[in-house]
């Protein structure tokens, strides 16, 4: 792999990863192409960037007249504390879960291929919410071509299987492998959950390929009402070698559905930050959400795009500070902190 990537290129690459939609992603790719050092060692990467620019440009242009080669844009703009993709084989209960958890009217059916479009919906948890995106199934013989694109903005995935289906082991392997081919790794590495640290860290791998994404994945073993044997999940994990954290659920009986919000909150290390204006009480019902490791400046950017540039200092209430302590832009935030931003 190429050495000596310039700071300008690395910056563009980071912005690409942080981009929120296709337009932004395309602009970042163009910037990556512009700033990448042009030499033999970067030829592969240059070709990769060019083909992504081509693909995204076509996607954004919509279907060509008389051709159905490329469809409309299928990505969902993230909202709430995190965007969670629902993945799985046909008929495992993805749409049922979505409807039950978000109150959406996701189409549910006893036959496969009922879901054709990404369907967003919000799962409330305490005073925040997670965006769950219902998606079409992935099977041995079919995966929508736009699915890979739609997953670029996801923060995590729920891999939903029907635990009463003897083939669910194969489904897990098929889906993991099909996505892996498309540079999407279903990862067992949740920042907020314990895991086996003897393996190669994802970040180390990420340095090798800027286009590979890692989705922390929760295995949802659904339809436990049809198959209440808890051993089956262990067997499935042993047979497939996957080490995803697991939640055994039933949409029919409601079993374990109420735990999902807290698993996501903890697993993704969501941090709620409440803001206040000087001399006023804090707004306690509408937190801004960031992830563990975020700073005061990150929150300032969420409050207003231009605020960050005009930032002077903040006062903070919460962990590690005395009430109203003056802090700088790099001050790290913890869940339930309150900040008062002061501008130039």
Ligand X SMILES: Nc1nc2c(ncn2[C@@H]2O[C@H](COP(=O)(O)OP(=O)(O)O)[C@@H](O)[C@H]2O)c(=O)[nH]1
Query: Does residue 120 bind ligand X (CB under 6 A)?
Result: no
Site for ligand X in 208-227 (CB under 6 A): 222-223, 225-226
Q: Which is nearer to Mg ion, 25 or 223 (CB)?
A: 223
Q: Is 227 in the site for Mg ion (CB under 5 A)?
A: no
Which CB atom, from 106 or from 215, has the smaller least distance to ligand X? 106
| Burial class, 4, CB count within 10 angstroms (exposed 0-12 / middle 13-18 / buried 19+) | exposed
Residue span 79-108 as binding mask against Mg ion, x where in contact by CB under 5 A, dash where not: ---------------xx-------------
132, 251, 308, 341: residue in contact with ligand X (rule CB under 6 A)? 251
Is residue 246 close enough to count as binding ligand X by CB under 6 A? no
Give DSSP secondary structure letters for 141-208: S---TTHHHHGGG-SEEEEEEETTSTTHHHHHHHHHHHHHHTTEEEE---TTS---TTSPPHHHHHTT
Choose the contact partner of 225 out of Mg ion, ligand X, none; CB within 5 to 8 A by kind.
ligand X
CA distance 267 to 172: 21
Q: Are 320 and 331 in contact (CB under 8 A)?
A: no
Q: How many residues does the chain have?
A: 344
CA distance 264 to 291: 12
Site for ligand X contains 96 (CB under 6 A)? yes
Please list every residue from 188 through 207 that binds Mg ion, using CB under 5 A: none
Residue 239, C-beta contacts closer than 8 angstroms, at least 6 positions apart: 169
Binders of Mg ion among residues 276 to 305 (CB under 5 A) are none
Q: Are 240 and 170 in contact (CB under 8 A)?
A: no
Q: Looking at 102, 115, 139, 149, which residue binds Mg ion (CB under 5 A)?
A: 115
Nearer to Mg ion, 89 or 261 (CB): 89
Interacting residues with Mg ion (CB under 5 A): 94-95, 114-115
Interacting residues with ligand X (CB under 6 A): 88, 90-96, 108-110, 114-115, 137, 222-223, 225-226, 250-252
């Amino acid at each position: 792999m190429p050495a000596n990537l310039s700071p300008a290129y690395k910056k563009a690459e980071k912005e690409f990863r942080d981009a929120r939609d296709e337009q932004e992603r395309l602009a970042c790719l163009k910037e990556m192409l512009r700033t990448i050092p042009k030499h033999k060692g970067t030829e592969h990467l240059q070709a990769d960037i060019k083909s992504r620019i081509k693909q995204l440009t076509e996607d954004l242009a919509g279907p060509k007249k008389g051709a159905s080669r490329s469809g409309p844009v299928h990505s969902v703009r993230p909202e709430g504390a995190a965007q969670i993709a629902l993945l799985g084989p046909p008929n495992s209960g993805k749409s049922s879960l979505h409807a039950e958890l978000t109150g959406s009217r996701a189409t549910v059916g006893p036959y496969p291929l009922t879901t054709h479009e990404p369907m967003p919906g919000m799962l409330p948890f305490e005073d925040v919410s997670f965006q769950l995106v219902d998606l079409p199934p992935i099977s041995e013989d079919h995966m929508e071509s736009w699915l890979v694109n739609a997953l670029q903005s996801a923060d995590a995935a729920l891999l939903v299987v029907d635990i009463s289906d003897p083939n669910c082991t194969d489904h897990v392997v098929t889906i993991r492998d099909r996505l892996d081919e498309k540079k999407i790794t279903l990862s067992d590495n949740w920042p907020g959950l314990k895991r086996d640290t003897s393996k190669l860290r994802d970040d180390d791998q990420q340095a090798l390929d800027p286009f590979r994404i890692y989705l922390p994945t929760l295995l949802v073993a659904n339809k436990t009402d049809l198959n209440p044997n808890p051993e089956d999940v262990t067997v499935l994990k042993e047979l497939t070698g996957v080490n995803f954290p697991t939640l055994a659920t039933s949409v029919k009986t409601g079993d374990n559905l109420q735990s999902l919000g807290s698993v996501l909150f903890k697993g993704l290390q969501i941090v709620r930050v409440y803001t206040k204006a000087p001399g006023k009480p804090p707004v306690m019902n509408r937190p801004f959400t960031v992830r563990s490791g975020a700073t005061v400046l990150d929150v300032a950017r969420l409050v207003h795009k231009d605020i960050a540039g005009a930032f002077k200092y903040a006062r903070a209430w919460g962990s590690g500070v005395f009430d109203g302590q003056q802090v700088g832009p790099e001050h790290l935030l913890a869940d339930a902190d309150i900040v008062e931003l002061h501008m130039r």
